[in-house]
Chains A and B, each alone.
Chain A
Amino acid sequence: MLFKSSKISAVVEWGTLLISTVLVCFFLVVVIWEIVSKGAGQLSWDFITKVPSAGMTKGGILTPIIGTVMLTILTALFAIPFGVCCAIYLNEYAEDNWLTRTIRASIRNLSGVPSIIYGLFGLALFVQALQLGTSLLAAGLTLGLLSLPYIITTTEEALMRIPNSTREAALAVGATKFETIKDVVLPSAMPGILTGVVLTLSRAAGETAPILFTGAAFYINNSNGYLNQEFMALPYHLYMLSTQHQSIEEVRPIAYGTALVLIIVVFFMNLTAFYIRFKYRKSATEM
């Protein structure tokens, strides 16, 4: 009898854990199912190539798509050079002193700062102090700041994986430290760096809070994405369609469509990052 009850309790215990796991997967399934099933009907060539019209109740979402694409490009332009250079400094040059430790602690803290506070900072610095006004540029720079800690961290990890013997080899043939980094270390770390960059950018593409006060608008007059003007973006569009629109019920289908496009964009970028990581691991094990 003792054996039987312990067997039953073993199953119960395993079952409890399994149920947790199943529930978590259930959440993912619900998210995807709900958006895909109700949004797929919206997807059409027109939907992604036409601008919104009739107060957002008709037309497509081309303008928000352009806005999100441009934001992501701006984020990349700002965050990648600064982030990679900072990671190079930390991993290749910095000695273990208080300054380095402070910089590292700052990066860890910055990555925990809520995105809305980055929005406030972007408002204060880019929109107001630097007088860029609410614009694509201000919002892009704000997202760039938000992304900086992640790019620094992932790039540093990629650089750390390059063994020191490779650096010594370059120095031994007479390369300067900069040449060693430029010609040998960076190229080998590139897949790891790229993975981090793509993942960070996919996060930035889905962010709403930092662009709330720095330039996102619900309706603008043209869809050409001027740097110094307000813009539309997919996450903001979804937010407004589902909470602020006059006829929320009427635009609900468009909201679903927007959500689906946003998820597709984000998942696609994530899959790209997975693919890069996978290929990189494969070639690393071949060494």
Chain B
Amino acid sequence: MKYKTRLSLDILFKIVFKGTGLLVLALLGGILAMLVYNSFSFFMDVKPLDFITGMEWSPTAAIPKYGMLPLVLSTTLVTFGAMFIAIPLGIGTAAYIAEYASPRVKNLLKPAIEMLAAVPSVVIGFLGIVVLSPGIADLADLSNGLNALNGAILLAVMALPTIITIAEDAIHAVPKTYKEASYAMGATKWQTLRKIIIPAAAPGIIAAVMLGVGRAIGETMTVLMATGNASILPTSMFDSVKTMTATIAIEMGEVPYQTTHYFALYAIATVLFLMTLAANMLGEYFINRFRKYHAV
């Protein structure tokens, strides 16, 4: 190939490569623009205050109500429930893998957890319907087991691999010198773990939890299939709830284009986006602290 051709190719591809970088920016920009534009259209019809503090979500009623609280609270309830289960289990498992498990066991556990992470959300939701639902219904004497508790357990299962992997990395990265100093003073393995290692790994563990929260908030299919989808203000874990994600999934398919209801769903999507953004940014902040900490 002639030199001139080689040089032209070099320059051409440099432009192509840079272009794809800009495409990524355009993608995020596009998503933001879509959310903002449609939310604005919504707030032309409905007052923001009514939306943010409204306690009723019934867009198809005679007098439509577009309060986001039932949906936000449903999401929060299910996510909290999920974290209540997933955090202790996740950190415990991560600690076990990092500190107690033999290499052979580790080589079985880590792929197993990756396998769990690979299960599609629709399959987990399906199991919520066929396994958990009858189980919960029996235990709590209800007509069916599609409620917040069901969703919380399923979301915990989905968030666990994320939490375990990142927390285990964080615990593993604690410098050996800390452990050695602790043992040298006569502390037991457990005392060392609880008082030295976990606190040292804290930023990484918090990051793991935040990213798990982000995952749980954004999950759609699992909650759609397992929580009952009644858009009321939840009062207990045994209530049927409708999360933000489920609302969008269910109602978007039936809503006429560019009606108030249509725009309302985008407003919900914007709130959802902001919540996951917050969780993920917190997670990132802690991951950076965890990295800086160990650069020492």
Q: Do chains A and B touch in the complex (CB under 8 A)?
A: yes
Measured CB to CB, the nearest residue on chain A to B129 is A242
Whether, in the assembled complex, A47 has its beta carbon less than 8 Å from a beta carbon of chain B, the answer is: no
Known: A176-B6, A252-B130. A35 touches B276 (CB 8 A): no
Whether, in the assembled complex, A208 has its beta carbon less than 8 Å from a beta carbon of chain B, the answer is: yes
B120 with A266: CB separation less than 8 A: yes
A213 with B127: CB separation less than 8 A: no
Whether, in the assembled complex, A270 has its beta carbon less than 8 Å from a beta carbon of chain B, the answer is: yes
Stretch at the interface among B49-57, B63-71, B214-222, B232-240: B214-222
Known: A108-B280, A113-B31, A209-B221. A21 touches B23 (CB 8 A): no
Whether, in the assembled complex, B44 has its beta carbon less than 8 Å from a beta carbon of chain A, the answer is: no
Q: Is the interface of B mostly helix, strand, loop or mixed?
A: helix
A contacts with B, residue count (CB < 8 A): 84
Write the nearest CB–CB distance from B39 to chain A, whole angstroms.
12
Measured CB to CB, the nearest residue on chain B to A152 is B24
Whether, in the assembled complex, A173 has its beta carbon less than 8 Å from a beta carbon of chain B, the answer is: no
Bound complex: CA of A13 vs CA of B249, how far in Å? 44
Known: A88-B17, A114-B276, A121-B34. A238 touches B126 (CB 8 A): yes
Whether, in the assembled complex, B252 has its beta carbon less than 8 Å from a beta carbon of chain A, the answer is: yes
Q: Is the interface of A mostly helix, strand, loop or mixed?
A: helix
Measured CB to CB, the nearest residue on chain B to A207 is B120
Bound complex: CA of A116 vs CA of B34, how far in Å? 14
A177 with B10: CB separation less than 8 A: yes
List B contacts of A86 (CB < 8 A). Answer: 17, 20-21, 23-24
Write the nearest CB–CB distance from A245 to chain B, whole angstroms.
12
Whether, in the assembled complex, B284 has its beta carbon less than 8 Å from a beta carbon of chain A, the answer is: yes
- The contact of A274 among B111, B121, B188, by CB within 8 Å, is B111
Known: A176-B9, A239-B125, A255-B126. A109 touches B28 (CB 8 A): yes
B119 with A103: CB separation less than 8 A: no
A18 with B96: CB separation less than 8 A: yes
Known: A21-B96, A110-B28. A123 touches B252 (CB 8 A): yes
Bound complex: CA of A178 vs CA of B15, how far in Å? 11
Write the nearest CB–CB distance from A247 to chain B, whole angstroms.
15
List B contacts of A112 (CB < 8 A). Answer: 211, 214, 218, 276-277, 279-280
- The contact of A27 among B18, B34, B157, B249, by CB within 8 Å, is B157
Known: A17-B92, A90-B21. A28 touches B280 (CB 8 A): no
B122 with A239: CB separation less than 8 A: yes
A31 with B280: CB separation less than 8 A: no
List A contacts of B273 (CB < 8 A). Answer: 113-114, 117
